[in-house]
Amino acid sequence: MDLKGKTAIITGSNSGIGLGVARELARAGADVVLNSFTDSSEDHDLARELGAEFGVSARYIKADMSKGEDCRALVEEAGGCDILVNNAGIQHVAGIEEFPVEKWNAILAINLSSAFHTTAAALPGMRKKGWGRVVNIASAHGLTASPFKSAYVAAKHGVVGFTKVTALETAGQGITANAICPGYVLTPLVEAQIPDQMKKHGMDRETVIREVMLERQPSRQFATVEQIGGTTVFLCSPAADQITGTTISVDGGWTAL
Ligand code: NAD
C-alpha cells in the first residue's frame, strides 16, 4: 500500500490505538500528524522518531479534543488532511444514577463531538481534492452495550451513526467514511481497568483478563494496535474505494454472539 503524498491526522495518538494506527499509516508511506492535549517534549520526540523510522514527515500538534474550537484548529494547523482518523477517547464506568455529569459531558465531547468538529473542518479540503478517508475508531460498544458504560456506549453508537451520515453526504466524491469497531485491545485505557476488575471480582490479573474482560470476546485474545492500524490502511487502499458508511469489527467474534 502506498500512501506517499497523503497526510493523515490521527486524534489522540500519543499512545495506544492512535499511536498504533499512526505507525501503520507511516509504514504505508503517509505523512502523519500526531495529537493529544499534553504538548510534552515526549510528544514531539515521539513524532520525530516516528518520522525518522519510516522516512515520512511526522509532527505533533496539541489540541484538546473536548473543545470544538481545538478540534477545528487541529485540522487547520495541519493544513487539512487526506486521511482523518478520529480516535481520541476516554472511558468511565458507573451506574446511570451515580454517573458523574462532568464525566458524561467529557465522554460525549471527546468520543463523539470531536469527530463532528474535525470532520466538518476536514471535508472541504477532501472535496476539493476529490479524495479522502474518514476512519472513526468506534468500538464493539458502538454496536452492542454493556452495563455501567452508558456514556461510552451512547457516544460510540453516536459515532457509528455519524459515520453513516458522513458517508451519505460524501458518496461518489472519492471520499469514504467508515468506523472500525474493536473489541478489547490491550492499551493504557484497558490496562487502567484491570486493577478495578481484579478488586471487584477478587481474581488475579490473568484470570480477570481471561474470564471477565475477554469473556465476551470468543477468541479470548486481545486485538492488537497493529491490527487496528492495518485495518485503517486497508480502508485507505483502492480495494476499499466502495466501502463507505459501514463498520468493520475487529473483535475476535464479540458481535457474532
Ligand atoms: P488510550 O488511553 O491508550 O489512548 C487514548 C488517546 O486519546 C491518548 O493518546 C490520549 O492522549 C488521547 N486523549 C484523551 N483525551 C484527549 C483529549 N481531551 N484531547 C486529545 N487527546 C485526548 O486509549 P486506547 O485504548 O488507545 O483508545 C483509543 C480509542 O479506541 C478510543 O476512542 C477508545 O474508545 C477506542 N477503543 C479502545 C478499545 C480498547 O480495548 N483499547 C476498544 C474499542 C475502542
Counting from 1 in the atom list of ligand 1, the atom nearest the Cα of 222 is 40
Instruction: Identify the segments of the chain with pLDDT beneath 50.
Output: none
In sequence order, what are the beta bridge partners of 33?
Answer: 9, 59
Q: Nearest residue CA, atom 33 of ligand 1?
A: 89
Cell numbers standing for residue 20: 498504533
| pLDDT at residue 30, rounded to an integer | 98
| pLDDT at residue 189, rounded to an integer | 73
Distance (angstroms) between ligand 1 centre and the Cα of 190 equals: 9
Cell numbers standing for residue 11: 486524534
Distance (angstroms) between ligand 1 centre and the Cα of 12 equals: 6
| pLDDT at residue 115, rounded to an integer | 99
What is the C-alpha to C-alpha distance for residues 119 and 235, in angstroms, rounded to an integer? 17
Ligand 1 close to Cβ of residue 225 (< 6 A): no
Counting from 1 in the atom list of ligand 1, the atom nearest the Cα of 19 is 9
Distance (angstroms) between ligand 1 centre and the Cα of 172 equals: 31
| pLDDT at residue 193, rounded to an integer | 84
| pLDDT at residue 243, rounded to an integer | 98
| pLDDT at residue 109, rounded to an integer | 99
| pLDDT at residue 188, rounded to an integer | 80
Which residues participate in catalysis according to the annotation?
152
| pLDDT at residue 128, rounded to an integer | 98
